[in-house]
Structure 1
Amino acid sequence: MWNVLSRASIRQWSMVGLAFCALMMGVALWLQYGVGLEPCPLCIFQRVAVLSAAAVFLVAAIHNPRGWGGSVYGVLGLAAVGAGIAVAGRHVWLQSLPPDKVPSCGPGLDYMMEVLPVWDVLSRVLSGSGECAEIDGVWLGLTLPQWTLIGFVVLAVVPLGMVFRSVLQRDACPARL
């Protein structure tokens, strides 16, 4: 199996990552429109991280770089996935707080985006609110943010694989971006 993983091209790694991002977004949209669960601000930020990673994987799949170019896409993808891990981890932490420690609910994300600078919105959303601490769905004993965190950790294998592959490729042939 290790031999198969090391032989996969940057394009193949990127397509796997893009497919996994599509799966994650498909589940999120199904939960929103099919089941009726409205996303909280942290859920929306997690979607932004998924879409950012998907954009990196799409460009990498089209470009299919060799040499150090694969490492660049891998690091960019890892940054997007790492942001998703951080936001999902924050969401899981908020949901684990006792009810008396949960921050109070603040204004909606739409309102904040209209009246506040972007950095203030980011700061307020990441500090959390009561609506992000609500547990709306549990499947197999895990909450939706816990599943999302697991999804991001699994997705992190793709950019790491891209970096690993580009390092192997760099040793085998001359670099081209």
Structure 2
Amino acid sequence: MLNRLSPRAVFAAVFAACASLIGFGLVLQHTVGLEPCPMCILQRYAFVMIGVVALVAALHGPVHHGIRVYSFLIAAFAVAGGSVSVRQSLLQRFPTPEPANCMAGDLDFLLGNFPLAQALPKIFSGTGDCAKVEWSLFGLSIAEWALVWFLLFLAVAAWVAFLPQARRTAAVPLVAAQAGHDAGRRSRRRPGDRIALR
């Protein structure tokens, strides 16, 4: 059943999932009152980028190399967002004696090496504490659920990129074998058979 899905349908499903995740995050922020920390906002923007790429791919309907380009972009944003999720999950699972500062250490290095380093701190103005678990579902925090979704999007991107190529590669020997079989049948015909067929 999964093999019958078109890449366009898969990209549309990825966009729908990202839109739902972002919407759920906004509900938690504005209804429940959970203020996002800078790491949460980084992950949210990773979901936004994955959703934008998936939407463009669904509208474009790419084939062959185009599918791989869109899949690579989705995988890249999934890896970036997943890296932040892993970092925040470690802060939550293994808190340090000192209060965790989201903008310190490796995240500060990351922002300092981005072209928009001076503008991004204004965007990442969340008031939450990255090491604090304020909401969980089935024992997993928001960061850990985000990691699950990033891994899922990474797996989907790899599946869409390489499975169609594998099917085309597997189909080549079958076509060649069928052509050889037809050629063999034609070579075994006798002249009398052709006259009879006329």
Cα deviations across residues 108-148 of structure 1 (Å, max 9, x unaligned)? Answer: xxxxx9xxx7347879xxxxxx8211111122211111111
* Higher RCO structure, 1 or 2 (CA under 8 Å, sep 6+): 1
Partner of 2:135: 137
Out of 76, 80, 86, which is 1:79 matched to? 76
Q: How big is the shift at 1:52?
A: 0.5
CA RMSD after TM alignment: 3.0
Question: Kindly, what percent of the aligned residue pairs are identical?
Answer: 37
Between the two proteins, the alignment pairs up a number of residues equal to 158
Partner of 1:61: 58
Q: How big is the shift at 1:37?
A: 0.3
- Cα distance in 2 for partners of 1:28, 1:156 equals 20
Question: Is the Cα contact below 8 Å between 1:13 and 1:161 reproduced in 2?
Answer: no
Runs of 4+ in structure 1 over 6 Å off: 120-123
Counterparts of 1:142-161 in structure 2 under 5 Å?
142-161=140-159
- Alpha carbons of structure 1 residues 103 and 34: separation in structure 2 relative to 1, 3 Å: closer
User: Please, what TM-score do these two structures have when normalized by structure 1?
Assistant: 0.76
Question: Is the Cα contact below 8 Å between 1:21 and 1:53 reproduced in 2?
Answer: yes
Please say if 1:28 is aligned against 2:25: yes
SS, match of residue 98 in structure 1: coil
Counterparts of 1:32-111 in structure 2 under 5 Å?
32-100=29-97, 102-104=99-101
- Structure 2, unmatched stretches of 5+, are 105-110, 122-127, 173-198
- Alpha carbons of structure 1 residues 105 and 18: separation in structure 2 relative to 1, 3 Å: closer
Which moved further from structure 2: 33-42 or 5-14?
5-14
Out of 160, 163, 166, which is 1:162 matched to? 160
